[in-house]
Amino acid sequence: MMAGAVFVYFMSCYVDIAAECRGITEDIIKSELFRSVDFPYDDYRMLYYYSTDEQGIRQLEGVNSSRLKGIVYDNIYNVLKQQKLKNVHCPVMFRYMVPDKIFEDCFSIYFGITNDIRCFPVSYDSVNNVGISYEDSWGAARSYGGDRVHEGTDIMAGNNERGYFPVVSMTDGKVEKLGWLELGGYRVGIRSASGAYYYYAHLDSYADGLKEGMDIKAGSVIGTMGDSGYGDEGTKGKFDVHLHLGIYYGEDEISFNPYHILKVIDGFRMEFQKY
């Protein structure tokens, strides 16, 4: 009797949630909460597989899909809860209720923006020990270029010196865009195999030979960190030296927060030596 009551309750929730979820995949994907790519786990550093060579250098190998699935479920759950859907009560039950199609569409995005990543975008200086820093400024207000919000993460140079830090591609991919943007300064846009677009902005200079349309390997230097942008071509010095990293996905170029992803891969910086 008890089991029957639970079953009926479960089924009624399932039917309701399926109905409520129908047609709202796009709302989920475009919601700021989903795009913030938050990781609710303490052990989120387990998200990636990696190998370690004889020198102790660790290399990212790809995303742990089952771990990522949990993250996707929790993010969908949080979005639906925020949207006050009346039958979403429990994140564990929810996993059995969310329609497969919605889950798969959402999962493919998170997988697409994380799985191709092989290294942190800024190398570290092993000789002079100059550091970088970044915080979660996703959605913070920006005033230049009209009212808008911050769609990325700023990685700041500890010495504020333009041209000092090499910026490397986080993924294998194709150089899709290269050149000046008023907001982004000298920027590079790289499309990885799974369809994500990684946007590296405010560079001081480009790596020699870098061209639109060329294939690039993860870890290849694409330029140096700078402070270009916020004006006509060549404008520099309007703000502190930093790399603005943006991650976009899909035909609509929806932006996703790189911050938590960067935290996960922080230990996978390439080394460079500045004498």
**Residues in touch with Zn ion (CB under 5 A):** 152, 154, 244
Residue number, 152 or 219, with CB nearest to Zn ion: 152
Least distance in angstroms from the C-beta of 270 to Zn ion: 22
Q: How far is the CB of 154 from Zn ion (least distance, A)?
A: 4
Least distance to Zn ion, CB of residue 254, Å: 17
Count other Cβ atoms within 10 Å, centred on residue 197: 19
Which of 89, 150 has the CB closer to Zn ion? 150
Q: Which of 63, 226 has the CB closer to Zn ion?
A: 226
Residue with smaller CB distance to Zn ion, 154 or 204: 154
Distances (CA, A) of 233 to 86, 104, 201, 230: 52, 42, 13, 9
8 Å CB contact between 248 and 256: yes
In whole angstroms, the minimum distance from the beta carbon of 44 to Zn ion comes to: 23
Q: Between 154 and 227, name the residue whose CB sits nearer to Zn ion.
A: 154
C-alpha 174/C-alpha 215 separation (Å) is 4
Tokens of 232: 């006509």
Helix (H, G, I), strand (E, B) or coil at 271: strand
Q: Which residue has the tokens 């030296």?
A: 241
Question: How far apart are CB 266 and Zn ion at their closest, in Å?
Answer: 18
Dihedral-angle region of residue 207 (phi above 0 means left; psi in -120 to 50 means alpha; beta otherwise):
beta
By beta-carbon proximity to Zn ion, the closer residue of 166 and 246 is 246
Q: Are 167 and 223 in contact (CB under 8 A)?
A: yes
CB atoms within 10 A of CB 121: 27
Residue nearest to Zn ion (CB): 244
Kind and range of the H or E element at 153? strand 153-157
